[in-house]
Structure 1
């Protein structure tokens, strides 16, 4: 039976990841604090005064700015304080909800943003949901066996963090997750309805420790399986807690 191998949240979209030991999922919502904030760029077409879900091209993301892939995050839920670290920068602590903290954050992240590309402008948040890549609030589920298959196709070790998944499962065969689409899976106490495969972008080519593009993950997916899909999206159908080593099964 499959088991939970890792749990991750990404407090600021494309700006760091944080490992968890357990999490409580709520029906119809994203993982708590996952993609809670996003970073608008200078060409974003969003209404900051009336925030609503917007497509990812409005935000600073690793597909266009690979250096962001090297950021790690730690969130203090009580104060809404985020600590960001990167191998090439000193750590930075700030509160994304405090506009007075934005200039310091923007100065910190600027060295990771090529001057000829879009530049970070400010923080964006949508009340009541994370800013996922999908219009509906989703959670991403990954299969460690599928990751191993891609690494073999690339011909080099790959870090799981490249895929920016929320829930990783062990003890499956490669690509079992695509058979779950249209089905419900119970993980720990929660139940999730699997909706679609995740089509991957250039973000996955960047090393999560250095922010440098060093692996042709997309080429490996296309040459090995004739698509760019890795992992699946799911919506929470039943509230419940998930913890490391919990079992997972298709209902």
Structure 2
């Protein structure tokens, strides 16, 4: 059965809403452009913009610890360099996350919109070339839709794919087949990706991206019905290329 890319997403601000993509130009060793490019560092965060390095997600505004973040909408216009945030009460801001002044405005706006999620004095962060991923390296996350359908069948209820905040959703594989691809290489157009790890899931998946409420426990469902808490895989880009929905995915031998 042919495997095809179903949909592509990026998440410009760590923990905030997804943006669908018509295509993505992948670069070797890099995440999708502007994916997790911005983050709100909590007051107790150890991130140093002068020496950017991976930090645990709990040090930032994140759905696993701050489910209220799902109520804040965001859109990033990379051509204009402007980030739009819309608070639950309808208040909105357009500011540049690429300037110190703009980041200050955005941080103040988020703190006012989600006061219960703040610890200390938060700072909105961006460092060119850095991705605030949950993974220590810059990767692309992929999930087979057949696996999600298997999870829905076992749980007896729908589970919106964006609960799992993947970059690429694909169809045409057997349920959970992707979990066995670690170490294998995928060809998508001219791009080549090496699968590096399975994705173990956390409390972020309890948040429904449509209703914006915590209404399920996919981690428990995974363990109960399948004996693990993994859903999806991480892959490192080896060779660059443009990918888009409808592209064929080939698992190389």
Does TM, scored on the shorter chain, surpass 0.5? Answer: yes
94 and 187 in structure 1: CA distance in 2 versus 1, 3 angstrom threshold: same
Q: Runs of 5+ in structure 2 lacking a partner?
A: none
Matching of residues 111-130 of structure 1 within 5 Å: 113=114, 115=116, 118=119, 121-130=122-131
For 1:4 and 1:149, locate their aligned partners in 2 and report how far apart those are by CA, in whole Å. 18
For 2:13 and 2:121, locate their aligned partners in 1 and report how far apart those are by CA, in whole Å. 13
State the Cα distance separating 1:153 from its structure 2 match.
Answer: 2.4
2:72 maps to 1:62: no
2:207 maps to 1:168: no
Number of residue pairs aligned between Structure 1 and Structure 2: 251
Aligned partner of 2:12 in structure 1 is 11
State the Cα distance separating 1:129 from its structure 2 match.
Answer: 3.2
Matching of residues 166-245 of structure 1 within 5 Å: 166-245=167-246
CA contact under 8 A between 2:179 and 2:233: conserved in structure 1?
yes
TM score, norm. by length of structure 1: 0.92
With 47-56 and 209-218 compared, the bigger mean Cα shift is at 47-56
With 55-64 and 77-86 compared, the bigger mean Cα shift is at 77-86
TM score, norm. by length of structure 2: 0.91
Q: CA RMSD in A?
A: 2.0
For 1:54 and 1:86, locate their aligned partners in 2 and report how far apart those are by CA, in whole Å. 26
State the Cα distance separating 1:137 from its structure 2 match.
Answer: 0.9
113 and 154 in structure 1: CA distance in 2 versus 1, 3 angstrom threshold: farther
Q: Runs of 5+ in structure 1 lacking a partner?
A: none
117 and 219 in structure 1: CA distance in 2 versus 1, 3 angstrom threshold: farther
CA contact under 8 A between 1:15 and 1:69: conserved in structure 2?
yes
Aligned partner of 1:47 in structure 2 is 48
CA contact under 8 A between 1:186 and 1:248: conserved in structure 2?
yes
For 2:105 and 2:241, locate their aligned partners in 1 and report how far apart those are by CA, in whole Å. 38
Q: 3-state SS of the aligned residue for 1:115?
A: helix
Aligned partner of 1:2 in structure 2 is 3
Deviation digits for residues 143-178 of structure 1 (CA, Å, limit 9, x no counterpart): 111111122223222211111100110122110111
For 1:108 and 1:160, locate their aligned partners in 2 and report how far apart those are by CA, in whole Å. 29
2:139 maps to 1:138: yes
Q: 3-state SS of the aligned residue for 1:221?
A: helix
With 46-55 and 36-45 compared, the bigger mean Cα shift is at 46-55
State the Cα distance separating 1:188 from its structure 2 match.
Answer: 2.4
State the Cα distance separating 1:86 from its structure 2 match.
Answer: 5.7
For 2:121 and 2:32, locate their aligned partners in 1 and report how far apart those are by CA, in whole Å. 25
214 and 89 in structure 1: CA distance in 2 versus 1, 3 angstrom threshold: farther
For 2:53 and 2:110, locate their aligned partners in 1 and report how far apart those are by CA, in whole Å. 24
For 1:111 and 1:144, locate their aligned partners in 2 and report how far apart those are by CA, in whole Å. 37
